[in-house]
Amino acid sequence: MKAPKLIASTALAIAGLSFSSYASLVDLGLISPLPSNPIGSEQAEADFLENYLKLSYELDPTVLARINFPDPTPPSTQISWNLTGTGDQLNYVLLKDGSGTVNDVKGQLYRLYQVSDDQKFASGGLQTVMIDQDGNGTPDKGISHITFFGSPGASVPDGGATAMLLGIAFASLGAFRRRLA
């Protein structure tokens, strides 16, 4: 194999390994039925979600923080996170707005997002979240606060990318050395 072809194929292999794909947050929609009163503190929200989702583990709202928005509240916002190396992972994002009406039922508006497995440690970029009261994909209510719910997580496995890059590098060096000899 000629040196330029070897270098080009090595560069393409390394470039292909360096790209990562990130999915969007999973929108679980408005909590239904609408709670008649605000749920309350971060821990009360965690307890509510554990029961609502019938989780087999406990959510920890102290892993991350609650973000409160001043008036006027934004109809949507962008969030990101990077928990790499902390030992924690993000599971759910809960948005809260004041009261509203959905299908002629008045109550408190909460929108829930689940974090996909590939994002539990890092979002990989900005994620747009909103309260969409009528389900048309357009933000139409302000966000009063966002609560992030996490749990202790395992470390992120490498997936073999480092070993593959080292193998490609050593193979390239070996081929280049043979070419020079």
pLDDT tens-place string over residues 118-168: 888 888 888 888 888 777 888 877 888 888 888 887 554 555 666 666 677
> Which pairs with CB-CB distance under 8 Å and at least 24 residues apart come from 136-143?
139/75, 139/76, 140/75, 141/75, 141/97, 141/98, 141/100, 141/109, 142/69, 142/72, 142/73, 142/74, 142/75, 142/97, 142/98, 143/69, 143/73, 143/74, 143/75, 143/76, 143/77, 143/95, 143/96, 143/97
pTM for the full model? 0.66
pLDDT tens-place string over residues 35-62: 877 787 888 888 888 888 888 778 776 6
